[in-house]
Chain A
């Protein structure tokens, strides 16, 4: 039976482990930073020299670390895109705007082990010649912001931050910036706009790739909290050693936020791909199964924007038929199964779930959080939400299932500026495709009830538009 592999949350839940620097130092804290700063230039066979920062970047590339924020993009590759010849400063931003429904992993790190994040960030900054870094934390985490600010103070006092860090000649300053409560600030270019003091409208790419034209139009790296923590461990153990964790191309560990109808919801850190979705839900080491007497209905595998899996769904992966529950929880398998591991948040729904209501809830979230910059997402997200609100408030139509999909189909696939278009359309597309009967039945029942009331005057007669949602 697979069990947790705690790398990042190694000490976090130990009794007596506190978020202050003394406790962190007692547990080997900032050793990886010392190691990183002490790296000597290495001679290459071709006579060139590889500096310490270059060696760290090399290790991160070798580790195969993939971004933990949602897209799963190679961290080493992202760093390699940074324009280092522009003559402009390079900024690093930690994306702590964790707001995807179902996700609560970064919060654990920030609340329980903030210095691990800061150490990971200092190393990442050193590796990328960054002298000013920001932690953009969502507005709804005031405690996290307070903890981080205290941790930064402590780190400054010990000269892990500031001028001439540990006598190495490297300067770095770091600030915490609190968001004001918008999901879109988690989109990296929206985050950058917000940090610049503007509306968090995601930027168009091209030309505004953060690696070239990021914060203040300077090259910028935006990494997730968990990703940056991993950098510390890559430096500590070496990229090749790190790559042995997990499975090929899906290296390291991931903190899975397990929520919904399981007995033991919570954060579970696993080696990527070393546990299946079924194991995460049912094994005693993890979710401990569904509530008694319940049957599994659906699973959202990667935060609320990921496409839903239906219980019993089968996928063809490498010519083998695999049940949804037997999918290894990693980046690639879930993509092959048509969904994604996203922010590694598994939302479990048992047979007590009203699937139409669940989708209405998700759609309302995305309608509320769409920044409204570009047309398809701005108009489509609210349209879908209104239609679902109608459907969950007795004003549905049998045709609403098709109606919803037709709306959703006009949003994703590069039609929008950022991935929010996908995030709001995928749930609708997948829920309706996989549970179409429930949508049609609900709408048909509403029509029938209205027809009875109107004594045959037609089902549409009594449809109250006013029942739809108004924000």
Chain B
């Protein structure tokens, strides 16, 4: 398979000198410098070297995308460095190898740089004892309320207790009591007794979100995490602190007490709330989605996502979802139509339309594959097409001003006008003067874009596919219930041209079908050309046909996506 084309033509990083270190007796080469949390090249640390050596070093406060704090002391390791003689030259063992002298004091792997010839010992009895000591200290004042804690199942205290914990506590003193159920902000609850004071949340909100909202008050074991008195912890990134909290101190008001995490199925997906396309995991159980969490992708969102996007999933499970296919006949009969009859009827209708009498308004919330299939219809019917632009406010971190997840897909497939929305007045005019007799609408309420009920009433045929009911769906002659992204597979092209795929998390409700599936049938019926019935084949076919996507394959874009020239 040839390499996929990409615009990621960053200048090759300067060659970084490699140094040799040993991790638990195994020699590996590591770069002398490694990018730190902010991307700046800094001396490689022990924990980074251990990661390269595939040696796990337990840690709480360390996070690769946050400034280093070094306060939890869980990552303490022992190490040795080559001994130097008085002449500053290495002292050699009888066998000619450099003599390595073990440091009398341990070091925190997260902050200590490696040096040539260094030996890191991460599995000695001494290191194990230190980890046991730290874990015991972290647990003595911890409420041990795992049975009612939302973090249970993804808690670092639980995880490391398996490796370094004691079966019984020898602590007989009363525990320190701290505030419980602290309402930190509109989306965050804090349990200070569970907090291990690692300061990840403080560092995140100060250094990543740029809102220095959290801090620690009091002293010693009475240290207490808090928001500034009288102020709410409220920025668009607060829920990331729930993700990075290694324990159950910070919980999401939206998710707490809703579902045990071990029951959740995690599906790789992409957020659709804006054109950034943050990579996410959808946590679902049976038919219900319980949460979105960011999925790390350094080319897009790092390990973060915004609160708005994270909580924008509830519409998927709405009671009033469109679940029934509808045709003019079924509308009269009060019965739902079948997919096959409706699609056949639509195909017959479309085949009879004179060129130029059909307009298509697709949505930049649809997938590349769907838009490409629509473009085939468009070509066959000689239709005018466009989609609806959604501009809002962006920010410096992740949120894009473009609220459509697939503006670039709509452009690349030729569905949207060069200036998205520029064709809409032409379509309005066409309907008004009677030239356009058939309108196909996907996922947009065109009544809000200059096409009121009176105008739509002039049409001979209005074919609408959508997910939720709106004024346009009410007027539709043919209504085709579609799927949310979480209910189907496909790809979006984000604002930077990154083509990213997403997988299916839950079953669509009722008769709703992924648009690409019924579009495939429709295109086949209208054009007489069969296509692929799998998303993989469809994507690959599209990649061959759309020049910007040439060379891409469904398998080749992987979970992290590939950036194309837009």
Contact = CB atoms under 8 A, between A and B. Distances in A.
B113 A206 contact: yes
Contacts of A406: 170
Contacts of A74: none
A206 B220 contact: no
Interface in A356-391: 367-376, 378-383, 386-387, 390
Contacts of B218: 372
Interface string A138-160: 00000000000000000000000
A386 B108 contact: no
B140 A182 contact: no
Nearest to B42: A207
Contacts of B222: 372, 382, 471
Given A206-B111, A383-B140, A415 B176 contact: no
Given A206-B111, A370-B219, A415-B73, A375 B106 contact: no
A470 interface: yes
Contacts of B74: 375
A16 interface: no
B106 A414 contact: yes
A162 B176 CA distance: 51
Interface in B139-163: 140-141
Given A370-B220, A371-B219, A378-B221, A403 B112 contact: no
A387 B171 CA distance: 9
B107 interface: yes
B137 interface: yes
B108 A204 contact: yes
A42 B136 CA distance: 60
Nearest to A410: B133
B133 A204 contact: no
A468 B141 contact: no
Given A372-B216, A372-B221, A415-B130, A386 B174 contact: yes
Given A368-B220, A379-B138, A415-B76, A374 B174 contact: no
Interface stretch (B64-72, B323-331, B412-420): B64-72
Nearest to B108: A204
Nearest to A371: B219
Interface in B523-549: none
A417 B70 contact: yes
Contact of A410 (B113, B137, B176, B197): B137
A48 interface: no
A465 B223 contact: no
Interface string A25-62: 00000000000000000000000000000000000000
Interface string A434-471: 00000000000000000000000000000101101011
Contacts of B138: 375, 379
B140 A199 contact: no
Contacts of A390: 172-173
Q: Decide if the interface of chain B is mainly helix, strand, loop or mixed.
A: loop
B18 to A, nearest CB: 21
B177 to A, nearest CB: 9
B112 to A, nearest CB: 6
A15 interface: no
Nearest to A460: B172
A353 B171 CA distance: 28
A68 to B, nearest CB: 24
Interface residues of B, number: 40
Given A373-B71, A414-B107, A416-B73, A379 B140 contact: yes
B105 interface: yes
B73 A375 contact: yes
Given A204-B70, A383-B140, A378 B173 contact: no
Nearest to A421: B73
Contact of B134 (A369, A375, A381, A465): A375
A471 B219 CA distance: 11
Nearest to A199: B216
A206 B68 CA distance: 11
B72 A374 contact: yes
A270 B170 CA distance: 47
Contacts of A167: none
A376 to B, nearest CB: 6
Interface in B227-282: none
B196 interface: yes
A87 interface: no
A406 B132 CA distance: 12
Interface string B168-187: 00111110100000000000
A439 B485 CA distance: 68
A206 B107 CA distance: 9
Given A204-B70, A369-B219, A376-B73, A415 B106 contact: yes
A380 B220 CA distance: 10
B73 A369 contact: no
B148 to A, nearest CB: 23
B44 to A, nearest CB: 13
Interface in A414-436: 414-417
Contacts of A470: 174
Contacts of A416: 73
Contacts of B69: 204
A413 interface: yes
B134 A413 contact: no
A378 B199 CA distance: 14
Contacts of B113: 206-207
Contacts of B71: 201, 373-375, 417
Contacts of B215: 199
Nearest to B224: A372
B219 A372 contact: yes
B80 to A, nearest CB: 14
Given A375-B73, A414-B106, A382 B196 contact: no
Nearest to B129: A410
B221 A410 contact: no
Contacts of B106: 413-415
Interface string A389-421: 010000000000001001001100111110000
A468 B219 contact: no
A387 B76 CA distance: 27
A410 B139 CA distance: 14
Contact of A403 (B134, B136, B170): B170
Interface in A189-212: 199, 201, 204, 206-207
Contact of B133 (A201, A373, A415): A415
Interface string B94-106: 0000000000111
A368 B219 contact: yes
B223 A372 contact: yes
A375 B196 CA distance: 8
Contacts of A182: 219
Contacts of B70: 204, 374, 417
A125 B74 CA distance: 40
Contact of A382 (B72, B130, B176): B176
Nearest to A400: B172
A367 B220 contact: yes
Contacts of B197: 372-373, 375, 378
B171 A383 contact: yes
Nearest to B135: A375
Given A374-B72, A375-B73, A415-B106, A386 B173 contact: yes
A387 B216 CA distance: 26
A406 B134 CA distance: 13
8 interchain residue pairs of minimum CB distance: A414-B105, A410-B133, A379-B137, A372-B223, A370-B220, A382-B221, A204-B70, A386-B173
5 contacts: A204-B68, A372-B219, A382-B222, A383-B140, A465-B172
Interface of A: 182, 199, 201, 204, 206-207, 367-376, 378-383, 386-387, 390, 403, 406, 409-410, 413-417, 463, 465-466, 468, 470-471
Given A368-B219, A406-B170, A463-B172, 17 more contacts: A367-B220, A372-B220, A372-B223, A375-B73, A375-B196, A376-B133, A376-B134, A383-B171, A409-B133, A414-B104, A414-B105, A415-B130, A415-B134, A465-B172, A465-B174, A468-B173, A471-B222
